[in-house]
Amino acid sequence: MSKILRTLAVPVIALAMTAAACSNNNDNSGSGSGSASGSPAGCTSDLKVGLALDVGGLGDKGFNDLAYQALQKSISDGLICEDNTKLIEANSEGTNLDENVQSLADAGYNLVIGTGFAFTPGINEIAPDYPDTDFGIIDGYATCGTACGLPNDAKAIPNVVDLTFKEQEGSYLVGVAAALKAKDLNCDNLGFLGGQTGPLIAKFEAGFRAGVAEIDPNIKVQVEYIGDSTKAFDDPIQGEALSNKMYDNGACIIYHAAGNSGNGLFKAAAAQQKLAIGVDSDQYKAVTAAQAPFIFTSMIKRVDTATYNTIKAAADGTFKGGAQVFDLASDGISYSTSNTELMTQDIIDTVNQYKQKIIDGDIVPPDDPKKL
């Protein structure tokens, strides 16, 4: 039995899948297709909200599921009526994102939210044509405008809000935690599994590697990316293969920022009896019972909070375009402590010390591996 398994003296607990009851239809009219409770009796809101999912769709155990949960909470809280919502999933190639957004705008939805940065170019281009429609983009950069190679600057698209996160901060914390756990396991080799290459996932990598180096600069961090397109976020087979490669090369813990592809990491971790770190949601609570004991922690990115707040602002008439940033200080970024057999109090205490240093500005995690 591996050393890691000897530390897991915990009974296997049946864990509910986050989105087990979610529909996987490509075009779901009305969020009732996956709603447990529906709108409160007598819902009178006339706000219409459309949610366009990125590749990976429902069941990704990450930001698509989190955005969907926020939509459901908005319905339950009476911000919107269930019949006034629509959910559209992307195809596996991610080639219909612009089409999905435009169809929602054409249908008269007051607020359209795209759950990924790939929605940015399309929304930046069409937003001036739909002045009565508000748009929100998770991880968006639409308001960067011409400086980012987009046709419209922020002044031309006051109806667009970019919902961004300081992922490097949370990644730094799980890097600290991973290094501490690695030392407990007499291991000096970790791994990072990224989805699509580019500046967004680079923030996860940079923060993680910096956190590891803070504890022990001699710990090696292997880095693998799945691809250079959005399809990289929906390839669990390749995610599993690259994870096995890193485990075989000595990694005892791997952190992923790869969307649905990260489910391949969890499969590899359970098979190899090694540890994994999740992303976006507390993935210890979302994986299978066989995989859960190997999920050390997760870097939590509150896509649900960002989505819910945007819907609430639209409902209250306080929607404002521009860029909103969620970080550790605003509780928009965090990390999970659910697996108490692995995430022990001594590790939590140390990680929280670094968390406070980041909030106080004493540590500024890098957002680019080139800055390491």
Contacting residues for 223 by C-beta, under 8 A, at least 6 apart: 191, 192, 194, 205, 209, 369
Would you say residue 292 lies in a domain? no
Q: Is residue 54 part of a domain?
A: yes
132 and 219 together in one domain: no
Assign 39 a pLDDT band (cuts: 50, 70, 90). Answer: low
From CA 136, how far away is CA 294, in angstroms rounded? 35
Pairwise CA distance, residues 104 & 114, whole Å: 11
Q: Which residue has the higher pLDDT, 27 or 343?
A: 343
61, 181: one domain: no
> Residue 14: pLDDT above 70?
no
Least confident of 27-31, 156-160, 291-295, 298-302: 27-31
In a domain, 72, yes or no: yes
> Across residues 162-176, what is the average pLDDT?
98
**What does pLDDT average to over the chain?**
90
Per the model's pLDDT, the better-predicted residue between 61 and 340 turns out to be 340
b/e 298-320 (16+ beta carbons within 10 angstroms → b)? bbbbbbbbbbbbbbbbbbeeebe
> Mind listing the pLDDT tens digit for each residue in 187-201?
999 999 999 999 999
Domain CATH for 186:
3.40.50.2300
265 with 192, same domain? Answer: yes
Same domain for 192 and 105 = no
Q: What is the pLDDT of residue 63?
A: 83
Q: Could you tell me the pLDDT band of residue 246, with boundaries at 50, 70 and 90? A: very high
Of 265, 287, 292, nearest to 190 by C-alpha is 265
Confidence of residue 38 (pLDDT cuts 50, 70, 90): low
Q: Are residues 195 and 208 in the same domain?
A: yes
Q: Indicate if 129 and 241 belong to the same structural domain.
A: no
Report the pLDDT value the prediction gives residue 35, as an integer from 0 to 100: 38
- 20 lies in a domain? no
One domain, residues 173 and 158: no
* C-alpha torsion sign, points 62, 67, 68, 73: positive
Q: Is residue 189 part of a domain?
A: yes
Q: Look at the chain and report how many structural domains it folds into.
A: 2
Residue 13 belongs to some domain of the structure: no
Strand partners, 301: 333
102 is a domain residue: yes
Q: Within this chain, do residues 35 and 55 fall inside the same structural domain, yes or no? A: yes
CA angle 19, 25, 30 (to 5 degrees): 85
Q: Tokens standing for 166? A: 């300081």
Asked whether residue 155 falls in the same domain as residue 231, the answer is: no
**Which residues on adjacent β-strands are paired with residue 280?**
300
Q: Is the pLDDT of residue 302 over 90?
A: yes
Instruction: Examine the domain organization and report whether 249 and 349 are in the same domain.
Output: yes
Distance CA 204, CA 127 (A): 29
For residue 192, CA distances in Å to 220, 226, 342 come to 11, 11, 19
Same domain, 138 and 200: no
Query: Are both 67 and 180 inside the same structural domain?
Result: no
- Judged on CB neighbours under 10 Å (0-12, 13-18, 19+), 349 is exposed
**51 and 45 in contact (C-beta within 8 Å)?**
no
The pLDDT tens digits of the residues spanning 98-120 come to: 999 999 999 999 999 999 999 99
Token pair 């080139």 in the structure block, residue = 370
Terminus-to-terminus CA distance in the chain, angstroms?
A: 37
Is there a domain that residue 14 lies in?
no
- Domain of 258, in residue numbers: 168-280+333-365
d(CA 15, CA 1): 24
